[in-house]
A = this chain, B = another copy of it.
């Protein structure tokens, strides 16, 4: 068989990719022999590839453990600190930016409080303050960032425009990618916040390895996001998980069932639910009835999604998930009469950082596509410090 220069280059790229993936996914540094076994490449090919990846800054040599006798084989690890991404949560009440390394570890974050009355320009300014704080804390500059994903409240279409928001009247139409692009010279993605929370739970939280799940954002404004076949489901226009807009689900008014309970009398709206869940926890019958009525409405929209999609798991996320000890069993009971099989239901594990962390996960997916796929470039991280 004849081998051309182009063929050889392609082979080299494929060998580099399988080596870098094996090192990135390994739990411990690998010797050349181990790397050869894991990739199925010859010992000689692996030697060439490792020298090249080391020179280009993708991998580092690891010092032998102290006290190791004789001349131990060299070990190599993937350099997770070779690059960083930003995940940003632009919510109604806060803007949170996190910096993670290539292994999805948060190395720094910045947070700015806002509220529902913050005008668009100020909210956008708060985004910069949170990003700057996170970068300063990480010891990085904007040019060091390889990718950014920002999550926004509301429906985000496939072009990244916010098309529909219930809480922030001046937010629809905002061009977040254009705004962030003014100072961040890297690929930028905009996504709905619940979708990013779902992604984070699937990559790092309660749903690791789950292929099909429904994420319920349960709070004063309920919503849902879907992961199907292992991937975030976007639909045709980005407006997925919106079954709660159907009148018969009662989702748009069900939070009133808690607010109007005697246990919440006189409390400000943002405190009502917590008080009712607390009273139900203490055995107050009226509060327990209010929680059950709320769970029955929540179950209508949830059952429609479960019967449609047959997911393995339902995640209870959002503010009310802090009372999952009370709400989760009530939801489970309320689903029984509707479903062929009630899926496992688990409370969200990642808490307040889940949207920003989901943003970082999505930004890292794009880094992966750019560098580590057969169509990627795999240039060195050392020289051009960014993607795209």
- Residues of A that sit less than 8 Å from B by CB: 1-4, 6-8, 10-12, 14-15, 40-42, 44-45, 48, 164, 212, 224, 226, 228-229, 231, 233-248, 300, 303-305, 307-312, 338, 340-341, 343
Q: Which residues of B contact A3 (CB under 8 A)?
A: 3, 8, 11, 45
Question: Which 6 A-B pairs give the minimum distances between C-beta atoms?
Answer: A235-B310, A4-B42, A304-B304, A2-B44, A236-B312, A242-B307
Q: Which residues of B contact A309 (CB under 8 A)?
A: 226, 233, 235, 240, 308
In the complex where A229-B229, A308-B304 touch, is A48 in contact with B242 (Cβ < 8 A)? no
A180 to B234, CA, bound (A): 38
Distance in angstroms from A6 CB to nearest chain B CB is: 6
**CB–CB B246/A303 < 8 A:** yes
A372 to B236, CA, bound (A): 30
What is the count of identical protomers in the complex? 2
A226 to B311, CA, bound (A): 13
With both beta carbons as reference points, the residue of chain B lying nearest to A337 in the complex is identified as B247
**CB–CB B1/A246 < 8 A:** no
**CB–CB A45/B7 < 8 A:** yes
**CB–CB A238/B8 < 8 A:** no
Which of A3, A45, A244, A341 is the most central at the interface, judged by chain B CB atoms within 10 Å of its CB?
A3
Q: Which residues of B contact A310 (CB under 8 A)?
A: 234-240, 242
